[in-house]
């Protein structure tokens, strides 16, 4: 009988995991299987971050006007969420599975959201936001 040894997950250097994002872009639009995409609540933008330095989508769509942004974390690393060009209007921050939210008003257009923790945007923590 061997004593059970605890499983220790080594925390590797950031950047090894980038290739995974290439595999994720399979949704071509149309049809939409059951449960494939939850219909977003109007005026709410929900974004999930994880420890592969990625968001849960490459493109988010929301209606123009007042928007509540819910930023949810499914990992442990510290992440932030800002919108390029209007970083002073909204800055959300999560870690350890937490969540943060904020409200701002957006005009129609194309925006870029990203995490401003050093190195994370370069690692892929960037996505498009279409406001229509």
**Contact footprint for Cu ion (CB under 5 A):** 79, 115, 117, 120, 125
Neighbours of 22 (CB within 10 A): 7
- Residue 16 region by backbone torsions, left for phi larger than 0, else alpha for psi between -120 and 50, else beta: alpha
Closer of 46 and 120 to Cu ion (Cβ): 120
User: Which are the contacts of 101, defined by CB distance < 8 A and separation ≥ 6?
Assistant: 68, 69, 70, 71, 92
Minimal distance, residue 120 CB to Cu ion, in Å: 3
Minimal distance, residue 132 CB to Cu ion, in Å: 26
Closer of 106 and 113 to Cu ion (Cβ): 113
Minimal distance, residue 101 CB to Cu ion, in Å: 17
Closer of 46 and 79 to Cu ion (Cβ): 79
Q: What CA–CA distance (Å, rounded) separates 82 from 114?
A: 6
Sign of CA dihedral 87, 74, 57, 36: negative
- Residue 31 region by backbone torsions, left for phi larger than 0, else alpha for psi between -120 and 50, else beta: left
Closer of 52 and 63 to Cu ion (Cβ): 52
Give the residue carrying structure tokens 């994370």. 120
Minimal distance, residue 64 CB to Cu ion, in Å: 27
């Amino acid at each position: 009988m061997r004593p059970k040894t605890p499983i220790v997950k080594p925390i590797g250097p950031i950047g090894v995991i980038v290739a995974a994002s290439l595999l994720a872009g399979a949704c071509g639009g149309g049809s939409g299987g059951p449960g494939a995409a939850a219909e977003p609540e109007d005026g709410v933008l929900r974004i999930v971050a994880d420890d592969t330095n990625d968001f849960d989508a490459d493109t988010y769509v929301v209606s123009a006007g007042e928007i509540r942004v819910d930023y949810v974390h499914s990992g442990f690393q510290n992440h932030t969420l800002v919108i390029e060009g209007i970083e002073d209007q909204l800055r959300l921050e999560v870690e350890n599975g937490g969540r943060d939210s904020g409200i701002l008003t957006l005009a129609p257009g194309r925006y870029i959201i990203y995490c401003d923790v050093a190195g994370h945007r370069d690692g892929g923590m960037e996505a498009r936001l279409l406001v229509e």
